[in-house]
Structure 1
Amino acid sequence: MEWWQLLLVALVGAAAGLINTVVGSGTLITFPTLLALGMPPVLANVSNCIGLAPGSFAGALAGRQELVGQRARVLRYGSASLLGAVVGALLLLRLPSAAFDAIVPVLIGIGLVLVVVGPALSRRVAARRERLGQTADGRGPLWLWPVVVVTGAYGGYFGAA
């Protein structure tokens, strides 16, 4: 890589870290940058995941107070997310890179849509829970566990999600 490309990656990485701190989804700028600099898509995806892993770990540590009293929920949905992530990562490693190359635009589109509709969807779910008098006790609807598995698989396959 040329010096200016390394500088660009560093600047975009810093911007992604800031974006991840505020709203998440900083990988939606780092991944395309790596692609634009000529990195193969699967390598860009894996590099992106490794590069942002320390920030994710730090964020989890910083937010651990928010999880006090949520053990049942963490175990229930954490296991679903882990299972999905392992399946997604195995798919990434086993399927030909041409499959990943073909689906990347769709995955980026899904990620963008989720960034846009996510906050409104979260507000609606919280309002509905409040209206029905439900508490956040870790017991969700039966359909939620498999949805979290699919979400985990999406993240495990497309770490730039």
Structure 2
Amino acid sequence: MSGLEQLAVLAAGLLGGALTSSVGVASLASFPVLITLGVPPVTANVSNTIGLTPAGLSGSFGFRSELREHPGVTTVILVTGLVGSVLGAVLLLALPAGVFESVVPYLILFTCLLVGAQPTISKVLRRGQEDAEPRTRLSPVTTFFATLVGIYGGYFGAGAGVMMVAVLGFGTDLELRIVNALKTLAILAGKIVAALIFAVVADVDWAIVALLAVGSVIGGYAGARISRHLPPLLLRSLIVVAGVVAAVAMLG
């Protein structure tokens, strides 16, 4: 790679890391850059996944105060993310890679609709229960769906962050900044499992991984610090827009 190409990959990692801990759709920034530079799609996907894993680490560190507020929920999300990702990875190795590719964009679009409408839907569903205690723990049903998102993240991954926001938004009464922190932690769990598998069985461009990692670790932390100060409506809108853009890009 030329110096300019290296700078482009580094910048892609920086932006991808910021997207990881803010809106949860990191591949919007980094993967297209690698393809534009002529990296084969499979190698680009594998190297991109491994290179952006540090963003989950730095992003979770940036959200450390949010993750400490409800340690029980944080632990459950971490465990369901790891277990679900392992199961998803097993499915990835056992099933044809394109099994769900045709339906994933529509699944992401539907999830974006849920994320956008979640405050209104939740208000309607809880009408008459204004005196009920806030839901600050994961019910068995919410835990089940969080695990399903983890499985999806290990198998395919695109839009998993948006899906986790929807699951936690409907299943709990936690603030969006805390939901966003938990989403970042769930993404980290999935990427760790995928990165370990890809590092062993796939063709990795380690030069690209190194550049992405340097950029993403900075971007992940910056994205966490910035997004925690965004108004909930703006953050929710950005998450929905990012999800829609990702789905449209996949349909194209």
Query: 2:119 matched to 1:123?
Result: yes
With over 3 angstroms needed to count, the CA separation of the structure-2 counterparts of 1:148 and 1:121, relative to structure 1, is farther
Letter aligned with residue 82 of structure 1? L
In the other structure, the counterpart of 1:50 is 50
1:148 to 146, 151, 154: 146
Q: Distance in 2 between matches of 1:16 and 1:3?
A: 20
Cα displacement (A) at 1:138: 1.0
Cα displacement (A) at 1:25: 0.8
TM-score (norm 2): 0.49
TM-score (norm 1): 0.71
Cα displacement (A) at 1:4: 6.2
Query: 2:107 matched to 1:110?
Result: yes
Per-residue Cα deviation, 1:82-124 (whole angstroms, up to 9, x for no partner):
21111112222x236xx2246445435534553x335424434
For residue 100 of structure 1, give the secondary structure of its aligned residue in structure 2: coil
Letter aligned with residue 141 of structure 2? W
Letter aligned with residue 146 of structure 2? V
In the other structure, the counterpart of 1:72 is 72
Total equivalences in the alignment: 155
Q: Quote the RMSD (CA, aligned, Å).
A: 3.2
Query: 2:59 matched to 1:63?
Result: no
Percent same amino acid among aligned pairs? 28
Per-residue Cα deviation, 1:114-153 (whole angstroms, up to 9, x for no partner):
3x3354244346646875333133142x321221111001
Q: Distance in 1 between matches of 2:107 and 2:70?
A: 29
For residue 65 of structure 1, give the secondary structure of its aligned residue in structure 2: helix
Asked if the contact 2:21/2:56 (under 8 Å) is kept, the reply is no
Per-residue Cα deviation, 1:13-67 (whole angstroms, up to 9, x for no partner):
33323333432212234334445645233x4333222111111111111112112
Deviation larger for 103-112 or 82-91? 103-112
Unaligned runs of 5+ in 2: 160-252
